[in-house]
Amino acid sequence: MESRRGLRIEKSAVSGRNATLIIRFLTFLSLIFVIPQLAFSLKEDKFTPIRLDKAEIRIDGRLDEAVWHIADPIKDWYQQCPNEGKEPSETTEMWFLYDRDALYVGARLHVRATSTIISRYLERDSHKPDQDAVGLILDTLNDKRTAYGFIVTPSGVRSDIAVFNDAEGSEPPPWNLAWDAFWEAAAVRNENGWIIELRVPFDSLRLRTRDDNSADAGIILWRYIAHTAEYDVFPAIPNNWSFSAYKPSQALDVKFEGIKTSHPLYIKPYILGVLNQQYIFSGDLLSYRPQNSWGRDAGFDIKYNLSPNFILDVTLNTDFAQVEADDQQINLTRFSLFFPEKRSFFQERSDLFSFRIPGGEHTLFHSRSIGIVDEHPVPILGGARLTGRMGNWEMGFIEMQTGEGEVDGEIVPSENFGVFRLKRHVAPDGSYVGCLFTMRTDLKEARNFLVSTDADIRLKGSHYIRTMFAQSAQPGSQSSKSLMATIVSHSLIRKGLSYAISATHIGTQFNPGLGFLFRKGTNRLGNRLSYTWFPENSRLIQNHGFLHRLELLWNLYERKFESFEDTFQWAAQFRSGGATEVQFKFIDEWINEPFLVGALKIDSGKYRFAYGRFKLETSSGRRLRLALETQDGGYYEGRQTGRTIAPSWTLSPHLTLKLEYTWSKLKISSGLYNVHIARVRLQSALSPKLSANSFIQYNSDLRQISANIRLRYNPSEGVDLYIVYNEGVNTDLAWKMPCLPRTSSRTVFIKYTYTFIY
């Protein structure tokens, strides 16, 4: 390997005074042009790993096989944060090898004091930046946009992630923890620190091999030290992005030669047993009586790699009994709440189907539209998903069929859903043009169609323009005769100063049958101006930024303003891993129709108010962590107060307790509204194979306590046993008449899955 960190000049072609002048001139140019560029391009050009004929490596975390001594370990680590460019605080030795069937990573992670090693959890897929870890990021398609990540903690706990959109974004993180692969890893601690070994079969990586059985990819290796919030990376990647250690575009090029890949078929059947108890009205309709029922079910999922570029997923009689319950939310607005997708089938490659609209959580495709009605599940009979890439074309297709269900005593008809997404990448910088088609029908009279196009084109440097157009149609309605939505935005983004300007129009009859909209029949103008910098000599602050955002919405058809928001925000991240945020918001609202918030009625009229918000989080590397948030100020013609406290305590890798309490108080002339939400999460694990999670919530607005307890036994890769217990408890029996039962519902699920590989 030859680094680009210096400039070498051959003097054989020149001599005497002319040579001296030329050398000085070239040196001057290097100081002006070359050295500043190195601050933004620190990584090596190429990485050549050692190839073995056959690696006889036992994955036990000991590195006692002779093959680990064939090559020198990687020692050229770059401290990415918190003290960018300085020597890493700890010594790291790492080896990267491969043979015909798999790649291998071994590492010795030295520490000065073993008491500083932090390992929080023993549960699979528990990757968070609050425990020590080693990460391998592989851009297997070599497209500089997507990658797979394999992460191991000091306790040997594995997490596998699918990185998308070149790791751009912050909340939520730009990767998918629901992606799973077949691979091995082990970790062992000793008096010098800890050691890891991992093996990833090439069959799990979906590499694009040539006729000579070679393949190109990109690689990033990193070590995270939790107690100092330190990332040490290879190659040297500058800390210019929110997740710099995960960016495929910054990966080091690597070539694998003489490898063998296949297209395995994964068949994952399940069997399910259910015991359910509900309370229904008795015959006299004056009281409730329990009704017990039990049932059994079965289904399966199939995953088949048609090629390294295309993956087919098929599901029959789909079940999500093991999915964690949704977080209870407090709604202080006149709009619907947005709940994120937690079901694993819809999370995989969700980035491909994403079609976001500026101005909130607007999206033209929200997978919770499938199989969930008014936050209640309905049966999914089955479906298929095909995703892949061919050259610069990226495409995805989803077809799902739901069965009849019952929600709040009403029959929900069977429906069919179709989604098609197509993107063409027009430049290596991520620019693309694309389209999205969705369809929803009950196969009788109700039909909804959506046709949309979008483009994200980089103009020059860090300037880019985003445009979107969408048209929905429902035969028999006026929506098929008018322009539904046009979205245009222009943005300038660079390190330091950035801005964005956007304009959006959403028609009154616009209806994305599989999407989610906060409001429609509006026009929106928005702009954002922010400044972020990375001070080098500050002991406390690693980076901080200032943001100013304006948003104006009006109703074009009635020619009335609806909302005006002016936001000022400052945020900081500390070298210790903590963070803080201060925000002030000034709002003008024109309410055309009264609405209810809890029991309070907000009358129509014009309102002007402002409020402030403060947030503080302690270091994520501490055993006891705390997050605080407070919000105070105006609320239409009254006042609002909000408090959130969220402590979490890791007693050991076997037990973590997380608490969260949120209180909101609204006071206006017509009355007072108090609402409390409390959450208790208990994460426990006897080993990486056996874990149990308890999630208990209290919502004073619903006057109910809900419990979701999940036990998972994962004896080997692809085999799972779940036992899930759900219960709802009413805290105010006299809230409704007739008096409510103490328990509203109680359900026990037992689910077993086994994966066959062919």
In tens, the pLDDT along 515-547 reads 998 888 888 888 888 887 777 666 666 566 778
Query: What proportion of the chain, given as a percentage, has pLDDT over 90?
Result: 48
- What tens digit of pLDDT does each residue of 19-31 get? 444 434 333 333 3
> Minimal CA–CA distance to 380: which of 366, 364, 401?
401
Question: If pLDDT is split at 50, 70 and 90, which confidence band does 170 have?
Answer: low
Question: If pLDDT is split at 50, 70 and 90, which confidence band does 488 have?
Answer: low
How far apart are alpha carbons 738 and 408 in whole angstroms? 17
Q: What's residue 12's pLDDT?
A: 36
How wide is the angle at C-alpha 166 spanned by C-alphas 386 and 162, nearest 5°?
50
Query: Does the bond joining 172 to the residue before it have cis omega, within 30 degrees of 0?
Result: yes
Four-way CATH pick for 39-256: 2.60.40.1930, 3.40.718.10, 2.10.50.10, 2.60.40.1190: 2.60.40.1190
Going from the C-alpha of 70 to that of each of 52, 97, 187, 432, 554, the distances in angstroms are: 10, 10, 21, 44, 68
Q: What's residue 483's pLDDT?
A: 54
Q: Is the pLDDT of residue 405 over 70?
A: yes
What is the distance in angstroms between the CA of the first residue and the CA of the last residue of the chain? 40
Q: What's residue 338's pLDDT?
A: 84
Query: Does the bond joining 269 to the residue before it have cis omega, within 30 degrees of 0?
Result: no
- What tens digit of pLDDT does each residue of 269-327 get? 999 999 999 888 776 667 788 888 899 999 999 999 888 788 999 999 988 888 888 88
How far apart are alpha carbons 724 and 709 in whole angstroms? 6
Please give the sequence-ordered ranges of beta strands (E in DSSP) within 476-559, or none if there are none: 485-492, 497-506, 522-533, 541-555
Q: Is the pLDDT of residue 160 over 80?
A: yes
Judged by average pLDDT, the poorest of 2-6, 468-472, 565-569, 651-655 is: 2-6
- What tens digit of pLDDT does each residue of 37-75 get? 333 334 456 788 889 988 889 999 999 998 998 888 998
> Minimal CA–CA distance to 273: which of 300, 299, 297?
297
Q: Is the pLDDT of residue 33 over 80?
A: no
Mean pLDDT, the chain, as a whole number?
Answer: 85
Please give the average per-residue pLDDT across 645-674, as a whole number.
92
Q: What's residue 480's pLDDT?
A: 46
Q: What's residue 10's pLDDT?
A: 34
Number of Cβ atoms within 10 Å of the Cβ of 306 = 11
Q: What's residue 506's pLDDT?
A: 85
Spell out the domain ranges in the chain. Answer: 1-38, 39-256, 309-533
Q: What's residue 322's pLDDT?
A: 84
Q: Is the pLDDT of residue 365 over 90?
A: yes
- What tens digit of pLDDT does each residue of 591-602 get? 988 998 888 899
Q: What's residue 443's pLDDT?
A: 84
Could you give the 3-state DSSP secondary structure of residue 246? helix
Q: What's residue 542's pLDDT?
A: 58
- 255 or 37, higher pLDDT: 255
How far apart are alpha carbons 349 and 175 in whole angstroms? 10
Element (H, E) at 344: helix 344-347
Q: Is the pLDDT of residue 589 over 70?
A: yes
Residue 205: φ, ψ to 5°: -100, -15
- What tens digit of pLDDT does each residue of 471-487 get? 888 876 654 445 555 55
Q: What's residue 336's pLDDT?
A: 82
Please give the average per-residue pLDDT across 91-114, as a whole number.
95
- 348 or 495, higher pLDDT: 348
- What tens digit of pLDDT does each residue of 413-431 get? 999 999 999 999 888 777 8
- 554 or 154, higher pLDDT: 154
Please give the average per-residue pLDDT across 133-161, as a whole number.
93
How far apart are alpha carbons 367 and 354 in whole angstroms? 10
Q: What's residue 482's pLDDT?
A: 53
How wide is the angle at C-alpha 27 spanned by C-alphas 21 and 32, nearest 5°?
130
